[in-house]
Structure 1
């Protein structure tokens, strides 16, 4: 599955993404958000697992396995624009707000916001078809939840 997703990400145009690869692409984008500040902490990995459990109904072992695959994809994958392109094509707009919320939850998991994380979020939101305002509101919702 990892190689299939990497091949799809490398294609120049829109591609149909099977559900399993869409899950992997989302998980890899969450890993990219966690690594955006140059540090990938245990709290961020745990938050990614919780997002994957909640979003996909996985158990803890399944979430950890998907995250491990996503870590490999993220390390090998091309630019962030390609992740967002395949996710934008695979995920309905209303669900993309949830993607932004999940990314903010990961960014906020370590208790600090970094300029690299803010840059990533400002870039990703419009690429997913989400306005800056809606991304900001998503961040505020995650902050209110104590995330």
Structure 2
């Protein structure tokens, strides 16, 4: 487990040009998971509902087993704790995903924020900042928020 974590962290820290296609694909999953986890961590009243929303968002986006999702969330939590900013994650997503995919990430971030029935100001700030870094327009950002709130 520790060797796998070290190998993955080495991959995360490697420049994108040095990553294999499989490593890049894994990093895109990790980057998505980290952003969802960051919304979860932004709420001081962290609860089970947010964690379920993170898992649901990852399950909807990626074809992973329950075990793989659990490992991805655990790694995302560890990575989020040690990350200084969102740049490495949003840069990878900007290169690897199209606009619709990035909008869906923002929508899933909103789903995490709304999961407990309360939108915390810190959650709102994280989502707003990430949406800007992902080049999601204000209209797309608001539409994603409305879809997440409705369903």
Shorter-chain TM-score tier: 0.7 to 0.9
Match for residue 144 of structure 1 among 122, 125, 150: 150
* Alignment gaps of 5+ in structure 1: none
Q: How many residues align?
A: 139
1:4 correspondence with 2:8: no
Of structures 1 and 2, the larger Rg is shown by 2
Equivalent in the alignment of 2:43: 37
Is residue 34 of structure 2 the alignment partner of residue 28 of structure 1?
yes
Correspondence 1:70 to 2:60: no
Aligned match for 2:99, one of 93, 109, 113? 93
1:67-120 CA-partner distances (Å, limit 9, x unpaired):
011111111112123321221122111211111111111111111101111111
Aligned to 2:4: none
What's the TM-score once normalised by structure 1's chain length? 0.86
TM-score with structure 2 length normalisation?
A: 0.84
Q: Quick one: distance in 2 between partners of 1:65 and 1:46? A: 14
Which residue is equivalent to 2:121? Answer: 115
Match of 2:141 among 130, 135, 146: 135
Q: What does the per-residue CA deviation read over 1:25-64, in whole Å, with 9 as the maximum and x for residues that have no partner?
A: 1101110011112343211111111111121122222211
Q: Distance in 2 between matches of 1:21 and 1:86?
A: 8
